[in-house]
Amino acid sequence: MKISQENIYRLLESAAERGLTVKEMLINMDQKKKRKAVVRKALSTLTKKKACYKRDNRYYLLDQPAKASRSIQKSAPVSLSKSNRSRKRRKNEFIGIVICRNRSATLYSFDHQSEFNIVKSNIRDYLHGDLVRFSVSSENVEEKSASLLEIIDRKITQLKGNLHIGKKGKLVFKPNGEYVLREFNVTNSLTIKNEGEPAWLEITSFSKDKKHPEGKARLIKEDDIYQNPVLENILIANKIPTRFPEKVLDASSLLSKDVRLNKNSARVDLRNLPFVTIDGEDAKDFDDAIYAVKEGEKYKIWVSIADVDQYVPQGSAIDKEAFCRGTSTYIPGKVFPMLPESLSNGVCSLKEGVNRNTLTCEMVVDKKGNTHSTKIYTSINKIACRLTYTAVDHYYATNWIKQRKSFQSLSAHLDLYREIMNILRKMRISKGFINFQLPETKFDYDKKNRITDISKVYQTEAMQVIEQFMLLANENVAQYCERHRIPIVWRNHPQPLPEKRKQLQNLLWNSNIKVTAMNSGKDYNVALDLVKNSPEKDYLEYSVLRSMSLAVYEIERKGHFGLSATHYCHFTSPIRRFPDLLVHRALKCYLKGKKPPVIPEYMAATSSGRERLATVAERSCSKFFKLDFMSDRIGDLFEVKITGFVHSGIFVEVDSPYVEGFVPLKTIFDDRYEYDEENQCIRGRKNRLKFKIGDRLKVMLTNLDIRNLSSEFNWICWQE
């Protein structure tokens, strides 16, 4: 926005009695700090014209007759009466927001924290979410009837709907839902192929003098959301390849799909053991399978992993492409795999009922979780059953396997796996394994792969079974490699930096979580236990996570702080992680009696870099799909929980659907709220109301900035 008297006047007008500082004006006009002098000069001129005044470093508008304000403004604000242009509140005048429901409208009053009926006005002149000035006469107070005086600010500036051909062949936009009671004329040139094509509309005019308000429309291409430019830009920015080179696809197509055990093979035949895979419902690349038996007071555990090295020769075109990708990238409804699908979902994937080449780690563990022996060897498997997390959790909850009757024999094995999982978890936590219980986002889809719901899910018992078995294998493989001097890529996790630990400790103390030290994983578990019943639980757990250093791949062993492990590597996912493939190659070289070569440092560093880029891409794509899912719900009211603060506003979270958003402080008109960073709260200057993390608000979704991956909510009221 250009710095001018007119624009500054509009900003002060929208701020009403809150006023604005010079810094806030610069932010609102998207100008740099060095332009401060230009703003002050314009303010000085406005002050001399008696259009505004300064108090406590903030600028406010003075009462102005309509004629005087027009000399400053190029276009007067929309209002019902010229006599009501004054920004100063009079007796029985209040600020509220228009809320439309079921083809009718009411007005929510910030002052009364309740709704009023609208009288003496034509609601067609107003839009759902409009911030308005209204009056209540003495006889209407009990009836809760309000007269609208003036539109202060239009909260909703964009809408999703459909395009139709109106009279004289002109395009007309019809908004979705019942929040907007009027159609819009489309002012820009567009060609539509079919009646009712979906589109976004940016509102440009909503004057009551015109028969229809106006806006600029933009068509929505719904045929393939994965070709959306925003999504493509995320993938490009994070260097995520979406297609394989022809030579890689050609090389993968030549690989044999038959897996047989040759007579002279050194592979151990494990096909008679009932191995199972346990993964999510939509998984296709099955890296790992498990089996265990109880032998006296000990447990023998087998973890068999897909032998990807058998199909990806070192230095081949497939290998070079896998190294460049570093990892598979998972976004909602789609995966960009490290290996071509003929490998990742085909011959390498441990599918039920077919032969597969594997690399197996066989371990003997006692009742305290201590490992007594470890064997590693090449093998051949035939998976007895493909189970899902949902099916296993259903069994643990009901004692019934939600699968074919022939799989009921697996129940005893699943009970044993849970028993082993509990032993391993208890052992790890006692050593200082940091017991995070943070939620993840779950997307539900229909048959056409469209998102139908977004929910928050926590780690289940079935997930913990696989986690503990994989951690056990990774740790024992790492120790095996150390004992036999096999050079591998280590997975290291440094201690949190001292300043990060101190900041976290101060934050916890400010939340009445008294921790004496943050030096070990045990200290972190004490803190996590103390925050379990706090209303700030999620925020504090995320703060603990953010205090951590990043885990990295290195060619020297340094230990893993978060797992409280002296030896750790990645061995269990070679289909989707290149470092696991490097570990497999080193082990197989050693098992053949050869000396494994030293792995170059750049390979570990590159793998760390690729992992970070994939993580950023996955998070950004998740935000994109959440915003796309919410695009039909602009104008909806939500109950949200406060999850954090910055000086400019409040971070909030919607429970269902599970999405995050932001409430700018400048949009709150019942008072002027200020951020107390030390105590992590905001306070109202006049009403002295205090809001902290965990408190609940009622808000309206007013804006989606899909390009910048942000959603904006406006404060309606707080929940008592």
Amino acid at 488: I
Half-sphere exposure of 269 (CA within 13 A, CB side): 9
- What rounded mean pLDDT belongs to the chain? 86
Structure token pair of residue 301: 């555990």
Rounded to an integer, what distance in angstroms lies between the CA atom of residue 487 and that of residue 481? 7
Question: Could you tell me where the beta strands, DSSP code E, fall in 44-103?
Answer: 52-55, 58-61, 93-101
Is 158-220's fold the same as 634-718's? yes
How confident is residue 120, by pLDDT bands cut at 50, 70 and 90? low
Q: Count the Cβ atoms, other than its own, within 10 Å of residue 498.
A: 10
For the chain, the structural domain boundaries read: 1-76, 158-220, 229-494+549-623, 634-718
Structure confidence at residue 596 (pLDDT) = 95
Q: What is the mean pLDDT of residues 5-24?
A: 80
Give the lowest-confidence range in 443-452, 457-466, 544-553: 443-452
Give the lowest-confidence range in 65-69, 97-101, 158-162, 250-254: 65-69
- In this predicted structure, the answer to whether residue 119 has a pLDDT above a threshold of 70 is no
Rounded to an integer, what distance in angstroms lies between the CA atom of residue 507 and that of residue 638? 29
C-alpha to C-alpha distances, 391 to 412, 417, 420, 463, nearest whole angstrom: 15, 14, 19, 11
Give the lowest-confidence range in 112-116, 452-456, 524-528, 557-561: 112-116
Class for domain 1-76, per CATH? mainly alpha
C-alpha to C-alpha distances, 156 to 100, 455, 628, 707, 714, nearest whole angstrom: 13, 26, 17, 17, 10
What percent of the chain clears pLDDT 90, i.e. is strictly above it? 49
Rounded to an integer, what distance in angstroms lies between the CA atom of residue 678 and that of residue 32? 28
How confident is residue 84, by pLDDT bands cut at 50, 70 and 90? very low
Amino acid at 24: E
- In this predicted structure, the answer to whether residue 671 has a pLDDT above a threshold of 90 is no
- Helix, strand, coil abundance in the chain, percent, nearest 5: 35, 30, 40
How confident is residue 123, by pLDDT bands cut at 50, 70 and 90? low
H and E: helices and strands count for the chain:
16, 33
Q: Give the model confidence (pLDDT) of 46-77 as tens digits.
A: 888 777 888 777 888 875 333 333 333 333 33
Structure confidence at residue 79 (pLDDT) = 34
128 compared with 296, residue with greater pLDDT: 296
- In degrees and rounded to multiples of 5, residue 493 shows phi and psi of -135, 105
Report, at the CATH architecture level, how domain 158-220 is classified. Beta Barrel (2.40)
- In this predicted structure, the answer to whether residue 512 has a pLDDT above a threshold of 90 is no
Asked if the 634-718 domain carries CATH number 2.40.128.20, the reply is no
DSSP H stretches of helix in 547-600: 578-591
